[in-house]
Amino acid sequence: MPTTFWVTCPSLDRAIARIESSGGVREAQEAVGEEGVERVHALHRARYGTRVAGVREGGYVKCLHAFTALHLSGALPNPVAGWTLARLERPYDDPECRPATHP
C-alpha cells in the first residue's frame, strides 16, 4: 500500500531530509524505543491496514517524513514525529506552509 500522508511543504521536507541524512532515522528509533515505534505501527495498521511507510515487522522507523506527515495531519500524533519536530529550527519558514488545523 502506498504512503497516504505526505509532507508537502518544501522547506519542511528539506529540513526533515537533513535530519534523516545525518542519522536521524536511527536516532529517532533509539530515542522513542522499539515498543513506542511498534505502538504507532499497530495503530496505523488498525486504521489503514498497513504499517507506517510499509515498514517491515518490528519497531523500526523507515522514514521520518511519513511519521511527521501523520502527526501534522492530525491522523495519528506520534512520538517519532515529536522527536523530529523538536529538532527543527523553523519547520514552517515557507509562508505558504502551515500545519493542518482542525475545526
Q: What is the pLDDT of residue 103?
A: 44
Q: What is the pLDDT of residue 63?
A: 92
Q: What is the pLDDT of residue 37?
A: 95
Q: Quick check: is 93 in a domain?
A: no
DSSP 3-15: -------HHHHHH
Tell me which H or E stretch contains 81: helix 79-86
Q: Quick check: is 97 in a domain?
A: no
Q: Quick check: is 44 in a domain?
A: yes
Q: Quick check: is 42 in a domain?
A: yes
Q: Quick check: is 77 in a domain?
A: yes
Count of domains forming the chain:
1
pLDDT by position in tens, the chain (length 103): 567 889 988 889 999 999 999 999 999 999 999 999 999 999 999 998 888 987 778 888 999 999 999 999 899 999 999 999 999 877 666 676 766 554 4
Q: What is the pLDDT of residue 93?
A: 63
86 CB-near residues (< 8 Å, 6+ apart): none
Burial of 75-94, coded b for 16+ CB within 10 Å and e otherwise, reads bbebbbbebbbebbeebeee
Containing structural domain, residue 58: 10-86
The Cα–Cα gap between 37 and 32 comes to 6
The Cα–Cα gap between 41 and 35 comes to 10
Q: Quick check: is 5 in a domain?
A: no
What are the backbone dihedrals phi and psi of residue 7, each rounded to the nearest 5 degrees, phi first? -85, 115
Record the pTM. 0.87
Q: Quick check: is 4 in a domain?
A: no
Q: Quick check: is 2 in a domain?
A: no
Q: What is the pLDDT of residue 69?
A: 94
